[in-house]
Amino acid sequence: EDGRGIEVSTLIETLKRDRLTFERDSDTIKYYVTENVKVSLLAAASEYEEQNAGESACRQISPLCYELGHAAMPTIHDMGEEEDEAEDQEAEEAAAAVNSHLGTIGPNVISDGDADVACATATGVQGPPPESQIAENHEAADEIPASYLLNIQPSPGSAFHTLIYQMRQKCADDFGYDPTYLYPLHVSVTGFFEASAGQIRQLIHVIPEMIVRELRDVGEISVGEVICTKTGYILFDMKAAAVANFAQRLGETSARQFGLHIRPKAVNHISLACNRPSEEVREKIRNVYEPTDSGEAGDLIRETQASATFDLVLSRLISRSSFERFAEDGPHKFAEVARIPLQVQDKAP
């Protein structure tokens, strides 16, 4: 319905009628794909290469552009747009430098001067580059997109942040790692979305006012109970109606004003663990995060969770990992672009 896929029943019926129909298909189809799918495809290609020495299943053609499969297959472009084969390499490097610089600064310190420094460094120019070159580099930076996402994270340095990461490490030590460790502990606010540096600057300008308004109107964020599912998940239930409302409004505003496709999430849980088929293990993990002990230690944990504070975090994806290579590569790597404390303010009289 949202243009991002095909009904499974339709796919099955098509293959039943002719299982080779897609093999004969010579049309190039451009489409948007979520970050989760991209990560899975790249991980599958890497696994294929490991199992088939000497064969190449994935090639990075340009920033955010990958070719999957054998070399004779058509190129899959990440953003569904043809790359200009004659694009100037110098401008591309300058744009990458600006994007990299953007990921290290907060929402209130973005300036043209900062971008100029990044451009000068990337092009090897000592001192400010010519104005014409600055304009070209800024334009190139805005045209090359990167992957971003918004989520809620425990406030660094808070008692809850320290506690929940200690609990997470204990679970890893006792029961091993799982794919949730590819990410920091978080509540999803949006899915991954593609945006240029210019679009991100526009988002950073409107996000604080939007989230403050929702927090003032709807109320605080709180940690609920630990939930275990038969599908192998252990979750912290979260109450964050203000941020859920914000996510919906942001999706609508960003599409209308900035031409961005941002998918709002339900904003209702923290994934503590997954792929835990054993009910016994799930219950043991639950007891780490939600102890049944009525003594002093249990009371302290419950008090810490009740007073938890959170931040809204906008991050840029730097490099992808996979659970299959977690031991070698570690988790996904992100650059923090903006962090906004989620503090409930009193309504105006």
The residues facing 235 across adjacent strands are 227, 271
Euclidean distance between CA atoms 73 and 302, whole angstroms: 55
Q: Which residues contact 96 (CB under 8 A, 6 or more apart)?
A: 63, 122, 144
Among candidate residues 170, 161, 151, the one with its CA nearest the CA of residue 305:
161
Point out the least confidently predicted range of 13-17, 21-25, 87-91: 87-91
Euclidean distance between CA atoms 7 and 22, whole angstroms: 16
Name the amino acid, one letter, at 157: G
Determine the average pLDDT of the residues in 1-28.
Answer: 70
The pLDDT of residue 331: 95
Between 120 and 134, the more confident residue is 134
CA R_g for the chain: 23
Between 50 and 182, the more confident residue is 182
Euclidean distance between CA atoms 190 and 178, whole angstroms: 22
Q: Could you report the per-residue pLDDT of 261-315, keeping only the tens digit for each? A: 999 999 999 999 999 999 999 999 999 998 877 777 778 888 898 899 999 999 9
Euclidean distance between CA atoms 23 and 50, whole angstroms: 25
What token pair was written down for 168?
A: 């997470």
CA angle (65, 66, 72) in 5-degree steps:
125
Euclidean distance between CA atoms 124 and 80, whole angstroms: 32
Which range in 61-75, 104-118, 259-273 is most confidently predicted, on average pLDDT? 259-273
Residue where the block lists tokens 């590819």: 182
Point out the least confidently predicted range of 17-26, 96-105, 216-225: 96-105
For residues 344 and 215, the answer to whether their CB atoms sit within 8 Å is yes
